[in-house]
Amino acid sequence: MLKLPLRWIAAAVLLINGFFPALWILLTSFKSDIELAQTPITWLPQNPGLSNYIHAFSDQPLLLFLGNSFAVALLSTLLTLFAATGAAYALTRLHLRHRGLILTLLVAVAMFPPATLLVPLFEIMRGLGLINTYGALILPYAVQSLPVCTLVLASFFQQVPKDIENAAMLDGCTRLQALYRIVLPLSAPGVFTASILAFVNSWDEFLLALTLNAAPGSRTLPVGIMLYQGEFTFPWPVISAALVVAIVPLAILIIVFQERVISGLTTGGIKG
Amino acid sequence: MAKLSLQRLGKRFAQTVILKEIDLDIASGEFIVLVGPSGCGKSTLLRILAGLEEADEGQVILDGRSINRLPPRERNMALVFQDYALYPHKTVYDNLAFGLSIRGTQKHEIQQKVHAAADLLQLTGLLQRKPAALSGGQRQRVAIGRALVREAQLFLFDEPLSNLDAKLRTEMRMEIKRLHQRLGKTMIYVTHDQVEAMTLADRIAVINHGRIEQLGTPAEIYQFPATTFVAGFMGAPPMNLLTLPLQWSAGNATAFIAGQALPTHPLENTSEKEITLGIRPEHLRINDSTLNGQPGLLLNAAVELVEPLGSETIATLRLEQPTANLEQYTVQARFPGNQSISNGQNLQVHVAYANLHWFDSNSGIRLTTSQASSAEQVA
């Protein structure tokens, strides 16, 4: 256990490390190109204004990128949740053979560096005719998020007492109904956690998005933001504004969901 | 109505045999208690009936139809779990209503049935609460209510009272008994508590090591235990079981206790060297005039420990042996509370021959035949 002052110092280092880049991007988004190039640097914008934001939306179809990203992230998250729920339930509740091996393989899949999958994925998506569509990203994103989401959900399912589920099945539920009407609601914090993980994973992804879905109409945010830079120019303030626009929905999502990630939801159902 | 028949049921987990050749016929409206020590397989048996476990062998026949392959939801049975197993995210009302709504019952009918059950179980004021805001007794009431609302044809109870304190347990026990009298439904109740078994059951099945040791009415089980296990398990304090040496002459065996020869039950196996004698604690009496005329055994004993319970006193007695090299026997006796007993006191206790139980020392099986026909013996 760290002593109290040490704990505060550790917390401060973590906070600064985490927040400073985001704060710097936010401050930059309100500065002009000239102010940014000044030395000594200014910390607070001297003439804060929204011109960078206006440029961000007018120079590139930022709204379209946002919509694309949102659609891809949402659909891949739903797909991940659907598959991960089934997988996690099977791993925790059904008497599977080679359960340990399946878990190991699941973790192994999550360890693959995405770059090694790039060429095969491109070939597969081309074969499926999905290049430059949402589908080209939704499927691999779902696969990427699946292992960690399955593990998260499995650990929450495990905490739901088996007899509550048995009671539901005696009450008239099929196994699937018991899963969706009893086990999932009781694992809500786990579902929210898995959703956030899957959503953020899709929202941030750049490499696959650039390779599999770079057509102007279906570009996602990370690829779109790259377009703000010219051959010889880096309009950092405008890029920063676009980045802020990209970060804000995610931040709101996390804050809203975090409130729901409450523990102790199963209190009182069984003795204890 | 629900008539249940278990035929040669068997269950094993990996190499461990949990249940072995369970045969049991349960009449419609009967209250059967499955009693036995922890790990004897009684809860597994209940779960097989509910469809939560699959039997490896044998059949479960409900009203003439094998239900082995039916999923739990199609068995129309209700199970009250030891840990209540309420839905913690639902209110009491929704807990009670869930079974009906999942079966597509009309809303007004659900409302009517939930309120009727809540009335019966005194839950009306708690309908909008979540389980977390209820006491243990209230939660167990909700669990029973959930079974009640569905009008299941068979009620299963898996040690429903073991998490409650002693006073509440007695109250709930009476409520369950009243409920059975009122509804007349077939009920199967699992417990390790012999008081619950004796007070609730029409018939008791004593289970040990996955087998039914004895099936009978509470009186039969208590008065004519089929094995030493049943004799030791039912009754508090349990039956005193003493292993006595045998002497053979001209094909007749005589047992010896405290230097006295004791005629035993006729034995078939003439190579037996020992026999087990069983005496219920309440059958040991001090200077009891009711023994007059009845042949019996008279034993000298020293009081080792006295446990006064008010209405009665439990005394641990050491029987006097004529010589010190003989085996020492300690027995427990139950005397009326008004009899003054003190530590170290020397007593003379009587027990009528008619109240002696004889068991085979090797197999533990009861030897006296007087009531053997009424005490169905499976072991």
pLDDT tens column, B339-371: 888 999 998 898 888 889 999 988 899 986 544
Whether residue B22 is predicted with pLDDT greater than 90 in this model: the reply is yes
Asked if A171 reaches chain B (Cβ–Cβ under 8 Å), the answer is yes
Question: H-type helices in chain B, by residue range?
Answer: 42-50, 92-102, 107-120, 136-149, 166-183, 194-200, 218-223, 228-233
Q: Which residue of A has its CA nearest to B78?
A: A170
Is B132 in Cβ contact with A170 (below 8 Å)? no
Burial of B129 by CB count in 10 Å (0-12 exposed, 13-18 middle, 19+ buried)? middle
Is B50 in Cβ contact with A168 (below 8 Å)? no
Q: What pLDDT, on the 0 to 100 scale, is given for residue B372?
A: 40
Q: Which residues of A fall within a CB distance of 8 Å from B82?
A: 271
How close does chain B come to A139, measured CA to CA in Å? 33
Contacts 24+ apart (CB under 8 A), A92-100: A92/A154, A92/A157, A92/A158, A93/A157, A93/A162, A93/A165
Q: How far apart are CA A241 and CA A69, in angstroms?
A: 17
- Strand order, beta sheet including B260-263: B260-263, B252-257, B240-249, B274-279, B357-359
Q: How far apart are CA B12 and CA B5, in angstroms?
A: 20
Q: Which residues of B fall within a CB distance of 8 Å from A265?
A: 88-89
Whether residue B375 is predicted with pLDDT greater than 50 in this model: the reply is no
Asked if B298 reaches chain A (Cβ–Cβ under 8 Å), the answer is no
Is B83 in Cβ contact with A267 (below 8 Å)? no
Q: Among A133-147, B274-288, B300-314, where is mean pLDDT lowest? A: B274-288
User: 10 Å Cβ neighbour count for B26?
Assistant: 22
Is B88 in Cβ contact with A164 (below 8 Å)? yes
CATH architecture of the domain covering A62-218+247-268: Orthogonal Bundle (1.10)
Show which of residues 34-93 on chain B sit within 8 Å of chain A, judged by CB atoms: 50-52, 71-73, 75, 77-79, 81-89
At position B181, the amino acid (one-letter code) is: Q
Return the number of CB contacts < 8 Å for A and B: 92
The separation between CA B296 and the C-alpha centre of its own chain, rounded to angstroms, equals 30
Q: Where are the domains of chain A?
A: 62-218+247-268
Q: How confident is the model at residue B289 (pLDDT cuts 50, 70, 90)?
A: low
Q: What pLDDT, on the 0 to 100 scale, is given for residue A83?
A: 95
Q: What are the start-end ranges of the E strands in B309-345? A: 312-319, 330-336
Splitting chain A (272 residues) into consecutive groups of 10 residues, what average pLDDT does each group show? Answer: 80 91 92 86 86 91 94 96 95 86 85 86 93 93 92 90 93 93 90 90 92 90 90 88 91 78 48 46
Asked if A16 reaches chain B (Cβ–Cβ under 8 Å), the answer is no
The separation between CA A219 and the C-alpha centre of its own chain, rounded to angstroms, equals 17
